[in-house]
Amino acid sequence: MHTPIHCLGCRLALGLQQTHIVWEDERVTCLLDIDPLSEGHTLILPKHHAVDVDELDAETAASVMKASMLLSRALKAAYKPDGISIMQNGGLFNDLNHYHMHIFPRYEGDGFAWQEPVNSGLADKRLEQTKRRLTMELERLR
């Protein structure tokens, strides 16, 4: 288990390390990304350690969504972007090893895009099978 001393995300969220905080409440801290995809790129971090979204308690998850809505409005007003992207990377793709959600302004032609998946075209042929598998797991988790 990470503690605030060992986890960079915890240290940032708790204000124990120098950063550029733009907003916070009792559960989350919103700070500017040090390697932004565009000006205004912000990270939303919980103040209690969690790595993946399924580790968040309901109150913290609600604070993350509230912050994303507030930041979206602020980014739209400040930068007049063509759109806003909100994303979170889990598991191996969570480079901070602490849950964080990205929110950043997008502009037509900015070069940010999904890459073509390796198995492109295969997933759409399995939609019914995928639906059955996921609904079965969701029923089991209830």
Q: What angle do CA 35, 86, 16 make, to 5 degrees?
A: 50
Whether 1 is covered by a domain: the verdict is no
pLDDT digits (tens, 9 = 90+) for 69-82: 999 999 999 999 99
Residues 25, 12: Cα–Cα separation, whole Å: 14
Among 25-34, 74-83, 108-117, the minimum mean pLDDT is found in 108-117
- Average pLDDT of the chain, as a whole number: 92
pLDDT digits (tens, 9 = 90+) for 45-66: 999 999 999 999 999 999 999 9
Domain ranges, residue 104: 8-141
For residue 53, give the CATH number of its domain.
Answer: 3.30.428.10
Q: Percent of the chain having pLDDT more than 90?
A: 77
Of the pLDDT bands very low, low, confident and very high (cuts 50, 70, 90), residue 27 is very high
Number of folded domains that form the chain: 1
Of the pLDDT bands very low, low, confident and very high (cuts 50, 70, 90), residue 122 is low
Whether 107 is covered by a domain: the verdict is yes
Residues 3, 12: Cα–Cα separation, whole Å: 12
pTM for the full predicted model = 0.88
Whether 124 is covered by a domain: the verdict is yes
State the CB neighbour count (10 A cutoff) for residue 6. Answer: 11
